[in-house]
Amino acid sequence: MVSSLITGAPGWIGSRLVQALQADPASPRLRCLVLPEVPAAALPAGDGVEVVRGDLRDPAATQAFCRGAEGATLFHCAGLIHPARFTRDLDAVNVAGTRHLLTAAEAAGVRRAVVLSSNSPLGVNPSREHRFDEQSPYHPSMTYGRSKMLMEQATHEVQARGRLETVILRPMWFYGPGQPERQTTFFRMIRRGGAPIIGDGGNLRSLTYVDSLCQALRLAGRQPAANGQTYWIADERPYSMNEIIGTVERLMETEFGLTVAHRRLRLPVLASAVAGWCDAGLQSLGLYHQKIHVLSEMDKTIACSIDKARRELGYAPEVELEEGLRRSLAWCVAQGIAL
């Protein structure tokens, strides 16, 4: 009998979660929903892992994925962050796809759905001292933030019907082994002296080490008191952009023997503002440009409190910035990825 359903493998978080669940004797049977075009070599593998090919945007595919999974826990890690070109894809995947999935899970008798959201439905902190908590109001950041807000609201609607338990997790900027190309590009920019610092670099970002997020996902799947709740998930404390970039530089140089430029691409705050205006203009036309969007947020503080997750889930992140980045860089080296 299926114990866990996972979307988002072989993506970054989905894959790490599958590995964590495979190591847990209480999760003997896993089923993963994988896009039809994913090559066979990239599929989740191992004893007790079943792969179902399908797309969240197809209701029939989500029904097939959930069929026969009565009493299972669904971990919904799939989602679109950076669309290739059109913002409409965000709603198609994050909103409509989540609705299809939760409706199918409800009909199949799945016990609980743990839904991975984002910090983006809340936007950016009004000051460097401010921390988001679970009482903070929605103030979505652009189209992606709106899509994740609507996804959360769709989850609340399912919860209110009382046939499927739900938990929403809001992780922050991910880091750690298994990273996608965009994170490796950031490392390369730091090494070569091209990492942008906008303003003084003292703005704060909460980060979430990937295996800490997997811990939170598993706790949310089994903690009875989590039913119907929302939790922020991150490391113990936020980090300044200066600290993040400086830590990568130091580790590259002292532990991995890499030559580092020790430079920053220093830009005025106006650069972020201009990027924000361009981003808003493009997105109003239904278009998306990843680099412009990222630049628009580089001087912002986006930080949260994890007190509720600690108190109610027993969430206890053990890895902080230096060790997490060390493991991430070591993974790159082990994979033969040039930095």
Which two tokens mark 265?
Answer: 């691409």
Q: Is 85 exposed, middle or buried (0-12, 13-18, 19+ CB in 10 A)?
A: exposed
Which two tokens mark 54?
Answer: 């399908």
pLDDT at residue 42 in the model: 83
32-81 pLDDT tens trace? 999 999 988 888 888 789 999 999 999 999 999 999 999 999 999 999 99
Residues 6+ apart with CB under 8 A from 97: 55, 56, 57, 62, 78
Residues 6+ apart with CB under 8 A from 81: 118, 144
pLDDT at residue 260 in the model: 96
Residues 6+ apart with CB under 8 A from 269: 198, 199, 299
The residue-averaged pLDDT of 10-37 equals 89
160-208 pLDDT tens trace? 999 999 999 999 999 999 999 999 999 999 999 999 999 999 999 999 9
H/E run at residue 167: strand 165-171
pLDDT at residue 27 in the model: 65
pLDDT at residue 46 in the model: 80
The residue-averaged pLDDT of 298-319 equals 97
Q: Please state, in angstroms and as integers, the Cα–Cα distance from residue 115 to each residue in 78, 151, 268, 318, 321, following that order.
A: 9, 9, 37, 23, 25
Query: For 4-175+207-237+302-318, which CATH class?
Result: alpha beta
Residue 10: CB atoms within 10 A of its CB come to 19
pLDDT at residue 44 in the model: 83
Q: Please state, in angstroms and as integers, the Cα–Cα distance from residue 32 to each residue in 28, 148, 218, 310, following that order.
A: 13, 22, 16, 28
pLDDT at residue 238 in the model: 98
User: For residues 120-139, b (16+ Cβ closer than 10 Å) or e, as one string?
Assistant: bbbbbbeeeeebbebebeee
pTM, full prediction: 0.96
Of the chain, the percentage scoring pLDDT greater than 70 comes to: 99
Residue 198's nearest CA partner among 294, 81, 339 is 294
Which two tokens mark 171?
Answer: 């992780």
Whether the pLDDT of residue 155 is over 90: the answer is yes
Rounded Cα–Cα distance for residues 239 and 121 (Å): 21
| For the chain, domain boundaries | 4-175+207-237+302-318
